[in-house]
C-alpha cells in the first residue's frame, strides 16, 4: 500500500478542517506526492495539461520527462499515452525494485482515474523487447521550445 508520510496527512487534515469546520478561506493543502512516488506518468493530453500538473503537484522536470517526451514523440494518444510513459521510464533504466509509479489519466469533462504500480524488481534495459522506446532513449530527452 502506498501512503503519504503521516506529516503530509496531518497537514492535509488541518487544511481540510480549517476550510470545512471553521469556514476559513485558506488554500487547500496539496501534499508532496514526491514523498509517496518515485515516478509519475501523467496523461499527455497536451502541453497545457502537463504544465498545470507540474505546477500544481510541484514536480521537477525529471518527473515530467516521460510525459513530455511521449507527447513529443507520439502526440496525444489518449489513454495509451500512460503506457508509452511507463515504457519510457523503464527504457531509461529508472525503475528500481520497490519504486512506486503513479499513473494519472484524464478524460473529457471532469473524468480522472489513477493507478499505482510498485516495481517488484528492477527492469533491465536488456529486457526491452517490444518496448516502444527500445533503442531510441539515447536520443531523449529533447529540448522542447516553449
**Does residue 96 register a pLDDT over 80?**
yes
CA distance 31 to 37: 12
Range in 82-86, 92-96, 115-119, 120-124 the model is least confident about = 120-124
Contact 41, 102 (CB under 8 A): yes
What average pLDDT is seen over the chain? 94
CA–CA distance, 97 with 120 (Å, rounded to integer): 5
pTM (global) more than 0.95:
no
Can you read off the three cell numbers belonging to residue 53? 500538473
Q: Is the pLDDT of residue 44 over 70?
A: yes
Domain at 37-139, CATH from 3.30.300.250, 3.40.47.10, 2.40.30.30, 3.90.1150.10: 3.40.47.10
User: Nearest Cα to 68, choosing from 53, 56, 58, 57?
Assistant: 53
Mean of pLDDT values over 23-37: 97
Mean of pLDDT values over 3-8 = 92
d(CA 92, CA 78): 22
Mean pLDDT of the region 93-122: 95
Quick one: average pLDDT of 120-139? 89
pLDDT value for 125: 81
CA 1 from centroid of its chain's CA atoms: 17
The arithmetic mean of pLDDT across residues 105-125, rounded, is 92
pLDDT on residue 145:
83
Residues in the chain: 146
Bigger pLDDT: 139 vs 127:
139
Return the percentage of the chain with pLDDT > 90, whole number.
86
| Residue 129, all three cell numbers | 523487447
Mean pLDDT of 81-91: 97
Q: Which of 53, 33, 32 is nearest to 42 (CA)?
A: 53
Measured CA to CA, the distance from residue 128 to residue 113 in angstroms comes to 27
Domain boundaries, the chain: 1-36, 37-139
Assign 117 to helix, strand or coil: strand
Amino acid at each position: 500500500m502506498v501512503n503519504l508520510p503521516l506529516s503530509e496527512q496531518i497537514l492535509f487534515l488541518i487544511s481540510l478542517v480549517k476550510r470545512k469546520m471553521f469556514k476559513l478561506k485558506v488554500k487547500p493543502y496539496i501534499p508532496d506526492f514526491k514523498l509517496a512516488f518515485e515516478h509519475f506518468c501523467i496523461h499527455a493530453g497536451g502541453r497545457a495539461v502537463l504544465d498545470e500538473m507540474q505546477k500544481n503537484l510541484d514536480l521537477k522536470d525529471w518527473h515530467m520527462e516521460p510525459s513530455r517526451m511521449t507527447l513529443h514523440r507520439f502526440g496525444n494518444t489518449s489513454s495509451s499515452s500512460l503506457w508509452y510513459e511507463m515504457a519510457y521510464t523503464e527504457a531509461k533504466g529508472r525503475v528500481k525494485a520497490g519504486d512506486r509509479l503513479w499513473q494519472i489519466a484524464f478524460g473529457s469533462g471532469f473524468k480522472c482515474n489513477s493507478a499505482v504500480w510498485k516495481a517488484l524488481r528492477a527492469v533491465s534495459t536488456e529486457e526491452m523487447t517490444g518496448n516502444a522506446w527500445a533503442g531510441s532513449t539515447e536520443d531523449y530527452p529533447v529540448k522542447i521550445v516553449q
